Chain A
């Protein structure tokens, strides 16, 4: 009997037990579907986080203050008030690999305009910020050197989400209007272009004001929250990082052996950290899904074993009619493989659809990669073979006379 005949015999047997075949496939459908969906979502999350971090600016270094230490109680990272505007000037003169730098302070404010009222984050910074952080303008202008030099001018540049929250539409006309931040009136001079507002990093829900104005009118403290630094080139990132660290240690008069009271974070570091996190997440989700795939495979073996027992008589009849052990083995093995491969294909479809749906619901890109589909498909076929061989062998080795007598 050739392979094609074996396949036809197997398909006929599966059709004869539709309900059981579908239920058996369900385990594999769910398993493969979960693997494909989880890996798709994981890859999508990883890709979107990468693009967000790259969107923060190119060749970016971020200096944040160290932890505060009040009477032995450690505050969170960035809680110390060790970073000052004077540090900026010192870095600028000492670090040759630095192309531009922008000090920044931030706080949360209540924004009021007409009947609109929203809470958002305000960033006080300088004109260089736009270049370093890739901020582009939809309307009006960004902060200028004149704004910074003035020291008390109250101008604001709004992110599109702020405009939308205040007026109900990001396209609304707000340029030249006066809004109130914590009851301090500011003139709106610009609206930034959308940078994509996905995940936890929303670069659109922010208001930019001049550094001094923010420190004097909104925060009331002189320390900085961040210094954003653009290195001259990608190759000079490490050099720049070393120079900035050295300059700040000198500025803060730290002797050898004393720990830094600040942190210089490399964009590449953030990127690789985030990638590690998302990869771990993908692996974790994929692993859990993989376990369900395994359970599905055991389900197939279970059903095939039941099927072999239930069809003992059929096996006996086939053997009496001249079926060899090989023919019976092939028949049951093909049944198991058809179940798992068919289930796997449906699972891939559902998984791709599911991750697409999750992507549109969570407003993130998902990517179903060819390798993950091939892997899931190959794995399900493998499961069919592995978990099918045992029952199929059991059937093939049956003694015809015992099988025929079986009630």
Chain B
């Protein structure tokens, strides 16, 4: 499965379009991590716990998108975009979408 945020892949030709595929994941933060984060809010610096949390949930959204692409029979996802939105205090939605295509 080729995944790219470009519209074309060098050396390959798009033969079929399957339309939009998407995946999303909503995560809430962990209390333990929140305590660490509030300490870091005094000293400044990277919040590693949050970085990991967001990375994991973005990966989940990404994998859901890939599953959808596989189910349609595509062999690549082009023009992938990510978006983040906070829907409530302490919870964030991570969203990944792209176009499923067949490349030759």
The yes or no verdict on A and B being binding partners is no
